[in-house]
Structures are given as C-alpha cells and as structure tokens.
Structure 1
Amino acid sequence: MYEKLDNPVYHSLNEHHKKFCLNFGDSKFYNPEVAAFGGSSEVAKEKDITEYSKICDDFLIFGAKPYGNFEKELSQLVCDQYVLENKIDLDFTEKIDLLREENNEELLHFIKKFYPHYFKNRTPELGRYFGIFKDNKLVAVTGERMQMNDMTEVSAVITDTDYLGKGYAKQLVAFVSGKIFEDNKTPFLHVAETNTGAKKLYEKLGFHHRGTINLWGVKR
C-alpha cells in the first residue's frame, strides 16, 4: 500500500512535484534552489550523481546506497519513517497561522537558525507552512515537503528553544496532518533514528512506524 515510500523523492518528483524535477539518467533530483535531494528508480549511479553535483555540491540521496566510486566517502543517516492513517483527535489551544509569501523571510530565517542544511530559499514552494506566533514573533513551525499524488510528508517540525515544552509541535503536527487528510492524502514523515523524543511524540499522536530509510550524503 505504501510501496512508494521506499522511494519518496523519486515518486514525488514523478508525480506532484514534477515541476521541480531535474532528470539525470535514471535518477531524479530536486532543483537545488528548492531542495537538495535525489532518488532513483533503483540505485542512483555515479554518473547521474556527478552531473547533479555540478550544480549542487552538498545533497542527499534517499534509499539504496548509490553505486560508484566517489572521491569523498558517502555519509549515512538512518531515518525512521512513519505513516498516519487516522486523523488526530486534539483540542487546539493555540492560534495556528498559514504562512504566506510575506512571511517567507521570517520563515527562512527561523528554520535556518535551527536546521541550516535542509532548507533552501525556495523550499517554501514545496507546500504549505504553518506557524505559531507569540508577541508577533514566529516561535514554532511545521509544513509539507515531499508530495506524491496520494501522500504528503509532514516536515520542518521546529520549535524555538525558548518555547519548548508548551505542546506547540504536537498541535502543529496534528493541524498539518489534518490539512493533508482534507486533501484526501496520507501524511507521512521522517525522523532521525536517534531522535527518540520526536519519535515518542509521533507515536503518541498515532503515527505508526513503517520502517527505516537511508539517506546518503554526497559532498563534492
């Protein structure tokens, strides 16, 4: 049922995110101004990766370990993959705002402060982003990243360190997941295997663990 999640980048670029796709051989890559991710129908080849590295010098390949001889050893990040099959029943106590184009500068500054490597200037184009403001300051966000025709990834679950422990992430994840269900799609997400705190939150909200997926870091 969720076989496409074995290859989420490839299928996203083959479906809903086709407009962001750059094809190199059998591999598909996001426009690097939007996201530094790639994937292949089977195994990404050295030639395809080399071509993409001419325009993006630091990126991730999702799935099977790329084939070839690389000047720099590929780094490996193991992520747990979760799927949500039922809407989260939660009482929302915070005002959650849709972030619009006029919020992009603040959104980019906020996310790059905490996760500078995974967010690009055009990443907000991938989907909707929602935030919680306190005293006119953005203090927590969650949005959508990879998207297929029937599934959308919940991503960028970030809370300012000065506002942790207030349940903002829980409410944002529930809210964004609800929006995805309204689109008649299934929410899924990725979290580093070592991030036990986040995994406990997602499991408590009803996400079920589907398996693990490898992310291979390529640097030119």
Structure 2
Amino acid sequence: MTRTRADRRVLDDPFTAALTGPQERFARRRGRIVAFDPAVSVFYGHPREMSAADWADMAALAGPGRTVGLRDCRSPRPASWELLETVRLVQYTGEDVIGGADRAPADPAPVVLGVDDVAEMTALVELTRPGPFLPRTIELGTYLGVRERGQLLAMAGQRLRLPGWVEISAVCTHPDARGRGLARNLLTAVAQLIVDGGDTPFLHTTADNPARRLYESMGFVLHSDVSLEIVRVPKGE
C-alpha cells in the first residue's frame, strides 16, 4: 500500500507544531512561547528570531534559574542568559522504514509499558541516557519494552506528535543486553504502530551518537542538523 507523504515543513519547528497541534493539552503558553507541562517534557517551542518580549515570556514560563533548550535559535541571547552547552541535534525521517515485506517475529516479543513500569523505565533511562524521560512522559504515546526474567532490558516509544508525524524516542538498551538486536526490533515495532495509525515516524538524536548507524541502516534519512543550546534563565528574571 502506498502511503501519502507527510508535509515536512512542520518538522522545522517540531516542538511548536506539537504543542499548538496534537499535543496542545500538555501545553503552557505565554505570547509566542509554548512549553510542555514540566512533569511531561522539558521542551519549549519558540520562534527562530526571538524578540525582547519572547525572551521575557520564556523566562516567565521557565522560572528564574531554570534551564531551557533553544532549538535552532537565530537571535543573540541577552547577556544575562548563561549558555551551558551546545549540541548538534540531528533529525531523521522514516518514510521508508516500514515496507511491505514480511518480518520474522521479534524474540523476546515487545510488550506495552504502562504507568506501573515508569520507575523501571526511568532507571533504564538514567543508566543509558538516551534523553529526558519524566514522570508523565509516558502519557505522550505508546511505549514498548523487552523483558527477560522480569527485568526491563530495552525500550522505545512515541513522544512528539505533529500533523502527519510521530516521533520515536527513548530508544535504549541495558548494557548487559546490547548486541542482540533489541533496539532494532523495538524501533521496527514502534514505527509499525505509527504507520498503522496513519502517520510517519521520525526521530531526533545527537550528531555524535553511534546509534545513527543503526537508524541509517534501517532506512531513516537525515532531514536536518541544527544547534540545540542549553541556557540558564537569569535568577532575576
């Protein structure tokens, strides 16, 4: 079956597209700045060109002394905002990751994770550090995991939802279980759920992440490479 290609323009500002669209129920907003509920996700949506009012609104939403990630911001930061770190954030699209060929069932088979699994999921994320996972992140979409003898060995799930797109996130495997193809099986399973729902998968990672080789071998295609600046809001703002 041929799928309709999703509009890629929403990928240029994915956090705003999610928070003003399919995931608006999780949003906090002030002026042109939007942010997830802090128990759900750390991300902010903002214009590429930030005005003085935008900086003030972001400071008010975040709170004094808190950190904010600025994706592809093209305006100079106010002098009072401290730059903590800059990373290269790469974005992949997965229009052709799921094809029509039959696939052998994964072993062990993925299971759906729920709120009762959050403590274990958080521990696995803290051990492997694929990116932020907060107490209510699981509300953003379906998360799948692989268990063996009761232990959660690997997981992956759905995070951002944009018109026509769903992000695959929190892809991680316990160090003792690497090399068994668990991440590939989970990526395939989550991508299939997305396609079955009528959307197209995409994902983010950092430019220096070795997992990029896996993503590219599965058919994910690089769409963008932008800076993500982690900055601290002034304590007096």
Mapped partners of 1:73, 1:191: distance in 2: 20
Do the aligned partners of residues 110 and 55 (structure 1) sit closer, same or farther apart at CA in structure 2, a change above 3 Å counting? farther
Mapped partners of 1:189, 1:84: distance in 2: 8
Partner of 2:63: 54
Query: SS state of the match for residue 73, structure 1?
Result: strand
Partner of 2:4: none
1:79 aligned residue (85, 89, 94)? 89
Partner of 2:226: 213
Matched, 1:165 2:175: no
Calculate the TM-score normalised by the size of structure 2.
Answer: 0.85
The letter for the 1-side match of 2:70 is I
Partner of 1:27: 33
Deviates more, 1:210-219 or 1:149-158: 210-219
Matched, 1:16 2:25: no
Do the aligned partners of residues 180 and 102 (structure 1) sit closer, same or farther apart at CA in structure 2, a change above 3 Å counting? same
Mapped partners of 1:103, 1:216: distance in 2: 31
Once the two structures are superposed, residues 111-141 of structure 1 have per-residue CA deviations (whole angstroms, 9 ceiling, x without a partner) of 2333296111111111111000011000000
The offset of 1:169, in angstroms, is 0.5
Mapped partners of 2:214, 2:184: distance in 1: 7
Deviates more, 1:83-92 or 1:120-129: 83-92
What residue ranges of structure 2 are gaps of 5+ in the alignment?
A: 1-6
Contact 1:32/1:56, CA 8 A, preserved across alignment: no
What aligned pairs does 1:37-52 form with structure 2 within 5 A after superposition?
Answer: 37-44=43-50, 45-52=54-61
Cα RMSD for the two superposed structures: 1.9
Deviates more, 1:2-11 or 1:99-108: 99-108
Calculate the TM-score normalised by the size of structure 1.
Answer: 0.92
Partner of 1:138: 152
Contact 1:36/1:58, CA 8 A, preserved across alignment: no
Deviates more, 1:148-157 or 1:52-61: 52-61
Mapped partners of 1:122, 1:91: distance in 2: 33
What aligned pairs does 1:153-192 form with structure 2 within 5 A after superposition?
Answer: 153-192=167-206
Mapped partners of 2:153, 2:131: distance in 1: 19
Mapped partners of 2:198, 2:151: distance in 1: 32
Deviates more, 1:46-55 or 1:139-148: 46-55
Q: Which runs of 4+ in 1 moved over 4 A?
A: none
Count of aligned residue pairs for this structure pair: 219
Contact 1:111/1:158, CA 8 A, preserved across alignment: yes
Q: Which has the larger radius of gyration?
A: 2
Contact 2:30/2:61, CA 8 A, preserved across alignment: yes
What aligned pairs does 1:120-139 form with structure 2 within 5 A after superposition?
Answer: 120-139=134-153
What aligned pairs does 1:57-68 form with structure 2 within 5 A after superposition?
Answer: 57-65=66-74, 67-68=76-77
